[in-house]
Structure 1
Amino acid sequence: MGLADSFKAVSDSQRREILLMLREGRLTAGEIAEKLNISQAALSYHLTQLKKADMVLEYRQKNYIYYELNTTLFDEMLVWIEQFKEDKHK
């Protein structure tokens, strides 16, 4: 997926909230749903969108699925955004 998919994924406020939660570390879907006070079905949709955009990684551990940020993608996005900063040395 490209940057356009990433920016589309963060256009939703609940997905942005999920990303902020995951900044603190891995969480299960149940933990995220409880913090957001949304249904498992709604959360599943949001997590699917974030995974499609490569913003979230999924790890299975025993009976649990954990989600965490794909920091590599965020680094790439920052590099892309940095090119629009004004060069202060000109």
Structure 2
Amino acid sequence: MSKAFKALGDETRREILKMLNKRDMSAGEISDHFNMSKPSISKHLEILREAELISSEKKGQFVIYSINTSIIQEVLGGFLEIFTK
């Protein structure tokens, strides 16, 4: 869960999660929303994927990213537990 907390510590990654919460997207669609290089976006996506906050699936020539809502709920539950003790 520490990887998830670290991943959520970055504003860009939180914004990516907000976007993926609305719909699944390709890396290109995600990068179109930011003023940074595609390799930088790819690094953010990799960090989110390693934290299991998102998943990826190859569809044709594209990789489609999806939010992993069960992990998000688990992380939020852990976060609330920390502050309600």
- Residue 46 of structure 1 is matched in structure 2 by 44
User: How far off its partner does 1:82 sit?
Assistant: 4.0
Pairs aligned (count): 84
User: How far off its partner does 1:63 sit?
Assistant: 1.0
User: How far off its partner does 1:4 sit?
Assistant: 1.0
Q: CA RMSD in A?
A: 1.4
What CA distance in whole angstroms lies between the structure 1 residues aligned with 2:11 and 2:25? 18
- Residue 77 of structure 2 is matched in structure 1 by 79
User: How far off its partner does 1:36 sit?
Assistant: 1.3
What CA distance in whole angstroms lies between the structure 2 residues aligned with 1:78 and 1:37? 29
Give yes or no for contact 2:5–2:75 (8 Å, CA) kept in 1: no
1:9-54 per-position Cα deviation (integer Å, ceiling 9, x unaligned): 0111111111111110100000000111221110111011101100
Could you list the runs of 4 or more consecutive aligned residues of structure 1 that deviate by over 6 angstroms after TM superposition?
A: none
Letter in 1 for 2:20: L
Q: Which has the larger radius of gyration?
A: 1
- Residue 64 of structure 2 is matched in structure 1 by 66
Give TM-score, length-normalised by structure 2: 0.88
Gaps of 5+ in 1: none
What CA distance in whole angstroms lies between the structure 2 residues aligned with 1:21 and 1:52? 18
- Residue 32 of structure 1 is matched in structure 2 by 30
- Name whichever structure is richer in helix by fraction: 2
